[in-house]
Structure 1
Amino acid sequence: MAKIVAITACPTGIAHTFMAQEALLQAGKKNNVEVRVETQGASGSEDTLTAAEIALADAVIIAADKKVELDRFVGKRLLQTSVSAAIKEPETLLAQALDAPVYGDATQAYMDDIAAQKAAKNQGTPAVYRHLMNGVSSMLPLVIAGGIYIALSTAIDINGKASLAVAFDNIGGGSAFKLFVPILAAFIAQSIGDRAAFASGLVGGWIGTQGLMYNAGPNASAGYLGGIIAGFLAGYVTVGIRKWIRVPRTFEGIKTVLITPVLSVGIVGLLMIYVLGHPIAALMSAISNGLTHIGASGSIGLGLLLGLMMAFDMGGPFNKVAYFFAVGLLGTHTVESEMIMAAVMGAGMVPPLAMALSTFIAKHKYTQEERDAGKAAIILGACFITEGAIPFATKDPLRVIPSIMVGSAVTGALAMLFRVTNPAPHGGVFVFPLIGHWYLFILAILIGVVVAGLLVTTLKRPIAQAA
């Protein structure tokens, strides 16, 4: 019996990670392959692979949308791919892994990074997206915790003068929200250039968010866009410095801890201050001002677009762009930014709830396994975990994905039309008490769920006729 070990890891570490784990385990049972999976989720690594298990394995699968350390797999056949690939085609991955090239053998040790990037490009997540998601996964706890404390501050005292309200605002807006962009930049940089790039990413992100750019106004901020650019800049500048500056082997330690970080911090810092920071801040200001003056018809269109994006790939790149567009604007503390956050959260809750509804009203169109997944989807949808719809979309994408996109678009548009506000970037039903016009928010979600649920139920065929 072949033995395969695997690691699954997605940016948020909530849903994709464990869906991929389950898919690989089930595929192993079906194909008489012994599979052990380590998950690197939101709470850290679980079911960690032992050295003995790795040594006995015939191959390794890394199904991850963020950076995973590969040092312990040197000398093993290794396949790098995405989490979604593990969910959609686990049996194919098992076969491919057994024929994958050996990672980091004696003749290729110096090419490890290049080999990993090629594998990601050819078989899984593009390297740029993987670097971005490494930053996103690291900043997400700050975004969620900070946003909820800002919302609690407002709920306690809308004028923000009470002592506890001020304390919560300092925790959320004064600390967590000021740190999340630098952390985003730092971990993007680290994903590209390893630990030596962390400092320059952190400094570049901080300069952008604090308005430290040359000739910038008092409230200028490059925001999350500046953080992303600073992170990639820091990572590739560090890689370039390592490549271009050669020192005797005895000085490699000094190069790593002194020469490389000092040069990369200086280069990135100066570029952010004198070249990049100001135009990025101007762009962010223009976006914010444009949203402030957007009309009713425009806001409905924006809500519709964000809803489509949230449902299109359920946690993938389009979903993440829409979500972090909303989160990035939330720091401006405007009514319009909170309306956008409400539209995004509501739209993201629709897909799993709609699929749960469909499994209840059309049981003859779903297997027992899918009906069980529908029950779990209620909890996932209520918690704003859009990935709860993935098992259904994977099995029947042409009917499921268009249906949930329509429902999410309806909810996004209605949330904007109703001028629902949401100061918290995550939480689902747990932050409903903090939402402005919460009853209209629930109405918008229910309408979207019914529209998507009825549409997918109409399009789906009974199990015996499914094709």
Structure 2
Amino acid sequence: MDQDAPPGARAVTRLGRWLTDGTPYLAILTGLGGLLVVLAYAIGGWQIIQTSTDVVGQGFSWLRPASWAVAMLQTGNLVVDILGLAVALYAAYGVAGQSALIPAFAGGLAAVTMNTGYLGGLAAGVLAGAVTRALERITVPARWRAVTAKAVIPLITTLATAVVFFSALVNPQLAHLNSWMYGHLVALEVTDHHLLLGLVLGLAVCCDLGGAVYKIAYGYALAGIQSYSPIPAHTSFMAVVMAAGMVPPVGLSLATVIRRKLFTPAERSYGKVAWLPGLAFVPEAAVPFALRDPLRVIPASMAGGAVTGLLITTFGSTIPVPHGGFFAADQLGKPLLFAVAVAAGALVTAGVAVALKSLRRTEIPVSTGTAGSTRPTVAVAG
């Protein structure tokens, strides 16, 4: 780390390296959840999400594959849903150590509750860590130091994080964003700008990989297919959302094969499995890539999603169900063209990711064996 850099720059560098070193652990969590969803669909088909089997109560049967499929699906979805909480804890620990974990837990739960995805979790973790570090710099009498460290600082930090998320900043802005986006999406639909709407939906799905903007796009498409009088355009919009959601994990997995030197060993290893949850419509499978290199991965994902959204609306592919990915291939209208659109978007994402990572020398941190401790080496892109 550059000791001559400003304190803010050093903090950003430290957090970036900490998250980079944590990629293998977060990838394990994401991969586990995604693969459980894949196994659930493989055993029970896409219809398993509609089953009434109660795996918690008396409905579970040890001998029924459907019961195991439901258990896998519920567990996998839960693991993916709490990804924001895991990111919040990891980021806070990287910024301020153990004293920031309780506030980060509260902030991470708030991020999960408000469906802000991993970006909300990251913001909560950074906020909790920053407030904790700021409060720890305040000098207090010796006799009050213990109670201050164990009770006062966590309490104030938790309150500050909760206020920012629920009252002051995040929650109100999310409400405005939802209203603004939904209004513009409806305007594009009623004015028959369907190609543009497909492009916008593709961009929205891939811009935060399961976060708040993705949820708005998904909710818009879901409302269309669940309306009293769904029309073919509504099922096409659902196809756009589903296809675009597959693109980032598949495209980034492909990029790790095309230019291996641009990715860490952990990313290359994760890329061998990330494409599978991607095909099952789990866009969060791309989060480990985005955490390490958001300024390249997110634009690449959005580029691929935009291409796929435009192609889906051009081809007229449709799907009347909101889940399953390629496991719901029997529900697809024009399935071959749907596959072409996904493949095209994945190729664009892979190409843009490789191009952006190749623009300059890419620093590849190599872990020395303990989380948060890295020995940076430099690999020349190319």
TM-score by length of 1: 0.48
Asked if 1:414 is matched to 2:311, the reply is: yes
SS in 1 for 2:108: strand
Whether contact under 8 Å (1:24, 1:91) holds in the other structure is: no
CA offset at residue 331 of structure 1?
1.9
Aligned to 1:402: 299
Match in the other structure for 2:279 = 382
CA shift, 1:18, in A, is 3.1
The answer to whether the Cα contact below 8 Å between 1:63 and 1:82 also exists between their aligned partners in 2 is no
Distance in 1 (CA, whole Å) between partners of 2:194 and 2:255 is 30
2:107 aligned counterpart, secondary structure: strand
| 1:26-50 alpha-carbon deviations (Å, 9 max, x no partner) | 975x78956998xxxxxxxxxxxxx
Query: How far did 1:366 drift?
Result: 0.4
Q: Which residue matches 1:458?
A: 355
Instruction: Give distance in 2, aligned partners of 1:31 and 1:117.
Output: 18
* Amino acid in structure 2 at the alignment position of 1:15: V
The residue number in structure 1 matching 2:163 is: 118
2:84–2:117: 8 Å Cα contact kept in structure 1?
no
Unaligned runs of 5+ in 1: 1-11, 38-56, 69-80, 134-223, 226-279
Q: Which AA in structure 1 matches 2:329?
A: F
Aligned to 1:62: 107
Q: Which has the higher helix share?
A: 2
Q: Deviations over 1:238-288 (max 9, x none)?
A: xxxxxxxxxxxxxxxxxxxxxxxxxxxxxxxxxxxxxxxxxx9xx99x959
Q: 1:16 to 1:361 in 2, by over 3 A?
A: farther
Counterpart of 1:232?
none
Task: Spell out, residue by residue over 1:411-463, the C-alpha distance to the aligned partner (whole angstroms, 9 max, x if none).
Answer: 11111111111101122122111111111111110011011111211221354
Inter-CA distance 313–443: structure 2 relative to 1 (3 Å threshold): same
Deviation, 1:118, is 2.0
SS class of match (1:21)? helix
1:324 corresponding residue in structure 2: 219
Structure-2 change in CA distance of 1:20 and 1:87 (3 Å)? farther
Q: From the CA coordinates, give the structure whose radius of gyration is larger.
A: 1
What's the offset of the Cα at 1:373?
A: 2.7
Give 2:326's match in structure 1, choosing from 429, 432, 440: 429
Structure 2 matches for 1:194-273, cutoff 5 A? none
Q: Distance in 2 between matches of 1:352 and 1:346?
A: 11
Secondary structure of the 1:322 match is helix
The amino acid of 1:84's aligned partner reads L
* Aligned equivalents of 2:128, 2:276: Cα separation in 1: 30
Distance 1:293 1:92 in 2: 42
Structure 1: how far apart are the matches of 2:204 and 2:164?
Answer: 28
Q: Residue in 1 aligned with 2:65?
A: none
User: Matches of residues 287-302 of structure 1 in structure 2 within 5 Å?
Assistant: 287=186, 291=189, 294=192, 298-302=193-197
User: Alpha-carbon deviation of 1:91?
Assistant: 7.1
Matched, 1:127 2:22: no
Gap change, CA 1:369 and 1:331, over 3 Å in 2: same
CA offset at residue 390 of structure 1?
Answer: 2.1
Q: Distance in 2 between matches of 1:59 and 1:405?
A: 29
Compute the displacement of 1:99 (Å): 6.1
Deviation at 1:381, TM superposition (A): 1.0
Question: Which among 429, 436, 445 is matched to residue 342 of structure 2?
Answer: 445
Change over 3 Å in CA distance of 1:327–1:362 after alignment to 2? same
* Cα deviation 1:212-251 (Å, max 9, x = unaligned): xxxxxxxxxxxx98xxxxxxxxxxxxxxxxxxxxxxxxxx
Structure 2: distance between partners of 1:116 and 1:19: 15
Which residue of 2 is the match for residue 339 of structure 1?
236
Determine helix, strand or coil for the equivalent of 1:63.
helix
1:350 aligns with 2:247: yes
Q: Secondary structure at the match of 1:384?
A: coil
1:18 to 83, 94, 98: 83
CA 1:344–1:445: 2 relative to 1, 3 Å: same
Report deviation, 1:399.
Answer: 1.9
Structure 1 Cα separation of the partners of residues 239 and 321 of structure 2: 9
5+ residue gaps, structure 2, are 1-76, 137-147, 365-378
Q: Tell me, what secondary structure is at the counterpart of 1:421?
A: coil
Q: How far apart, CA to CA, are the structure 2 residues paired with 1:59 and 1:307?
A: 31
What is the percent sequence identity of the aligned residues? Answer: 30
CA 1:59/1:426 → structure 2, altered by over 3 Å: closer, same or farther? closer
1:290-340 C-alpha deviation (Å, 9 max, x unpaired): 84783xxx3222111111111112222222221111111112321110011
Q: Quick one: which amino acid aligns to residue 345 of structure 2?
A: G
Give the 3 Å change call, closer, same or farther, for CA 325–368 of structure 1 in structure 2: same
Report Cα offsets for 1:352-374 as digits up to 9, x if no partner: 11111101111100001111232
- Specify whether residues 131 and 407 from structure 1 end up closer, same or farther in structure 2 by C-alpha distance, changes over 3 A only: closer
What CA distance in whole angstroms lies between the structure 1 residues aligned with 2:119 and 2:218?
19
Contact 1:339–1:422 under 8 Å retained in 2: yes
Partner Cα separation in structure 2 for residue 82 and residue 428 of structure 1:
20
Residues 127, 91 of structure 1: CA spacing in aligned structure 2 closer, same or farther, 3 A cutoff? closer
Superposition TM-score, scaled by structure 2 size: 0.57
Task: State the partner residue of 1:4.
Answer: none
Contact 1:359–1:366 (Cα < 8 Å) also in 2: yes
Is 1:315 matched with 2:216? no
- RMSD, matched Cα: 4.6
> Which residue is equivalent to 1:159?
none
Residues 92 and 100 in structure 2, CA contact (< 8 A), matched pair in contact too: no
The answer as to whether partners of 2:280 and 2:324 remain within 8 angstroms in 1 is yes
Question: CA-to-partner distance for each residue in 1:131-155, whole Å, 9 max, x for gaps?
Answer: 899xxxxxxxxxxxxxxxxxxxxxx
- Indicate how the Cα distance of structure 1 residues 368 and 93 shifts in structure 2: closer, same or farther if over 3 A, else same: farther
